[in-house]
Amino acid sequence: MSWGTPEDEPEELEPEGGGWVPPEARAWRHPSELHVMGMAAVATSAGGWRRSAGVLVGGVALLAIAAGALLLARTGASPGTPTLDTIPVGTAAVTQCCTLSPLLARNLEQAVVSIEPTVGPGATGCGVVVSDRLVVTTRAAVADARTVRVLAATGRMLSGEVLGTDRESGVAVLRLSEPLPAAQMDVGDTLGEGSPAIAVAMRPGTGDGAPQPEWASGKVVSVGNPPPGSPTTGMAQITVRGAAVPAMPGEPLVDRKGRVEGILDSTDGADRSFLPSSVLLGVTTDLDTIGRVRHGWLGITDTTLASGTGTRVVWVDPRGAAARVLRAGDVIVQVDGWRVHSAADLRSMLYVMAPGTRVSVRAVRGGHVVRATVRLAPSP
């Protein structure tokens, strides 16, 4: 990505040895590059894709037309149309309240689990399957247990080993005894203020039956800020306002394409605040691979702009990571191409980056855009 510098001030802040390091040459990954252990990865050469695209398009189009014609001839309906008897209880109504297709709703439900204590009845929360055997949830959902029972959407009861919990972010990670379908996670700036959003909780059914999905809709009222009433040092979250219906820790927040944007961390009346997927995947990777979370630090103190469009540098540690490249008064607006909404947002981004990570920081100084490449230091 080209950051650019002001035409009337060709200033580029970059310490010696700076520069972008390609993913294959570094041990860390930005949230946009994270892949939780066990998740399928597809590596495609951009050049090879372009060369083969022209050859493939014609053949794929002909096959699609032939397949569609065959399905229409056999069923008399458009291919892939779900029917009510193939949709689990609860998803038929989601099209009316939340504009999410029943097919996407059904697919998501297969990746959401109900979490129960190993002793005693009742669910303590929900979780989202991020790989075939890993589930991300919150500390509140596991209640400091080492093992829990996990009820899948199909009614299967599995055991879940708690790999670890992270006190600062509130994230917990489970390893399942058997694989389950994984959800599609989104780590982009997809949801903004005013965006429609959907949450689903999987509540235990009657007896030993499958859990029942409970959907709720609302609109995003805040992105990149701590939940209402939380300390300013809290983790950045996505806050959604809707009907004040019962909520469960760990229930996923979903966009219109059925992608998980976060999981429920706290509620305040009609407001629900969700930890974003970038934090979830970063913490999951660390807990699964090294059993703890490592995170970097810029060596600054900062404060959120009233407009919510960045965070202003108040102080720079003269021996810190950002010494000589950032100044008091600079407004940080992007990190590695990701928008920074607030001081909490910046902390959350750095929280899932290991010490030693090189990050590109875009800031506004005196009305001009400048950039800096900074090697993160360990957090104090």
Map out the domains of the chain as residue ranges.
52-81, 89-176, 196-277, 294-378
How far apart are alpha carbons 155 and 335 in whole angstroms? 43
Mean per-residue pLDDT over the chain, rounded = 76
> 73 φ, ψ to 5°?
-65, -35
Model confidence at 215, in pLDDT bands (50, 70, 90)? confident
**What's the average model confidence in pLDDT over 359-373?**
93
Model confidence at 220, in pLDDT bands (50, 70, 90)? very high
Dihedral sign of CA atoms 328, 228, 164, 28 in order: negative
Model confidence at 97, in pLDDT bands (50, 70, 90)? low
Please report the pLDDT score of residue 335 as a whole number.
94
Residue identified by tokens 């191409």 is 337
How far apart are alpha carbons 293 and 284 in whole angstroms? 9
Domains 89-176 and 196-277 share a fold: yes
- Strands 311-316 and 271-276 turn out to be unpaired
Q: Is a pLDDT exceeding 60 seen at residue 23? A: no
Residue identified by tokens 């939940």 is 227
Q: Is a pLDDT exceeding 60 seen at residue 17? A: no
How far apart are alpha carbons 125 and 165 in whole angstroms? 15
Render pLDDT for 314-365 as a digit per residue (tens, 0 to 9): 999 999 999 989 999 999 999 999 899 999 999 999 998 999 999 999 999 9
DSSP state letters, 73-139? HHHSS-TT---GGGSPTTSTTHHHHH---HHHHHHHHTTEEEEEESSSSS--EEEEESSSSEEEEEH
Q: Which of 47-56, 79-88, 186-195 has the highest mean pLDDT?
A: 186-195
Instruction: Pick 196-277's CATH classification: 2.170.120.12, 2.30.40.10, 2.40.10.10, 3.30.420.40.
Output: 2.40.10.10
Structure tokens given for 167: 């006190």
First-residue to last-residue Cα distance in the chain: 31
- Beta-carbon count within 10 A of 69 CB: 11
Structure tokens given for 47: 């050049």
Q: Is a pLDDT exceeding 90 seen at residue 164? A: yes
Count H helices, E strands: the chain? 6, 20
Do the beta carbons of residue 79 and residue 67 sit within 8 Å? yes
Buried residues in 289-314 as b, exposed as e (16+ CB within 10 A): eeeebbbbbbbbebebbeeeebbbbe
Instruction: Pick 89-176's CATH classification: 3.40.640.10, 3.30.230.10, 2.40.10.10, 3.40.50.740.
Output: 2.40.10.10
**What's the average model confidence in pLDDT over 103-129?**
88
Please report the pLDDT score of residue 231 as a whole number.
61
- What is the percent of the chain with per-residue pLDDT over 70, rounded to a whole number? 71
Range scoring the smallest mean pLDDT among 39-48, 112-121, 210-219: 39-48
> 324 φ, ψ to 5°?
75, -5
Model confidence at 289, in pLDDT bands (50, 70, 90)? very high
Structure tokens given for 340: 């920074």
Reduced DSSP (H G I as helix, E B as strand, rest coil) percent helix, strand, coil of the chain, to 5:
20, 30, 45
Looking at per-residue pLDDT, the higher value among 98 and 257 belongs to 257
Model confidence at 243, in pLDDT bands (50, 70, 90)? low
Amino acid at 207: G
Q: Please say whether the structural domain 294-378 has been given the CATH code 2.30.42.10.
A: yes
How far apart are alpha carbons 242 and 234 in whole angstroms? 22
For the stretch 305-308, contacts whose Cβ atoms lie closer than 8 Å and that sit 24 or more positions apart, written own/partner, are 305/331, 305/342, 308/224, 308/225, 308/341, 308/342
Rg of the chain over Cα atoms, rounded to whole angstroms, equals 23
Structure tokens given for 10: 């060709």
Model confidence at 265, in pLDDT bands (50, 70, 90)? very high
